[in-house]
Amino acid sequence: MMLQVSKRLSYPFIIGLAMSVVCLIYIPQWRHYVPSAHQAIPITPYLTPWTVVSVTALSLALALIAAPFRTRPPIQIILSKTLSILVVCFSAVFLLEYACGIRVPDLDIFFLPDSSGQRVTLYAARPSPQSATTSLLFASSLLLFHPGLKWRKRAFHIAALAALALPTFACCGYILDLFFPPSPTAAPRIGLSLPAVVLYFTFGSGVLGLSLGSKVPNPAVTRPAKVSRRFV
């Protein structure tokens, strides 16, 4: 059976495809910043590679959900759910690391080839707890998305809005820093870097646009019109 492609591209599909391409271009470039991860703990949070990997997987899942197909094949839904589940698993592992004080060094081999050195910063390639929580909530919202069930649409909106809470707080923190600059020796108060905030806000707009582009027409409005015309 041939797939019929719609001529109109939705906003979520464009956002998901564009962000996945941008993130895939950025991931290999992080190797140039590896020496800085072996010297000292950075003062401000940076955009870690695992954050970009999570956003890449979420963007691909969003693009698959909003793909311009008139009939959704099963493989499209399976791939989208699989990517979202992977992000949930990795984010849960990172949050458990922060909560329990453990560390899985094998997860950083690709980004930190010489991670056995003594000067390697712990969690150098890991996302911050705020970033891992945001990715976990976004992945949960994509798993909950279903255009036909009302309770899943409500749960989808709740998870998507909850995922935007931490980037919103981080954005407010950066605005406050403009008016009240912190001292150079003060510890970083914001757990999300400014590029991460931009990525999550852009992705969040695509997720919320997904619900706007999947409205199911209500048959209760059309049935009375048909009955009235027959009666007349």
Q: pLDDT tens digits for 164-180?
A: 999 999 999 888 888 87
Report CA-CA distances (Å) from 55 to 64, 147, 186: 14, 23, 29
What pLDDT band is residue 216 in, cutting at 50, 70 and 90?
very low
Query: Can you give the pTM of this predicted structure?
Result: 0.80
**Exposure of 151 in the CB half-sphere (CA atoms within 13 A):** 0
Residues in the chain, overall count: 232
pLDDT digits (tens, 9 = 90+) for 129-138: 999 999 999 9
Residue 120 to residue 53: CA distance in whole angstroms: 21
pLDDT digits (tens, 9 = 90+) for 58-105: 999 999 998 887 677 788 889 999 999 999 999 999 999 888 877 776
> What is the maximum span of the chain, computed from C-alpha positions, in angstroms?
86
Average pLDDT over residues 20-37: 74
Whether residue 107 is predicted with pLDDT greater than 80 in this model: the reply is no
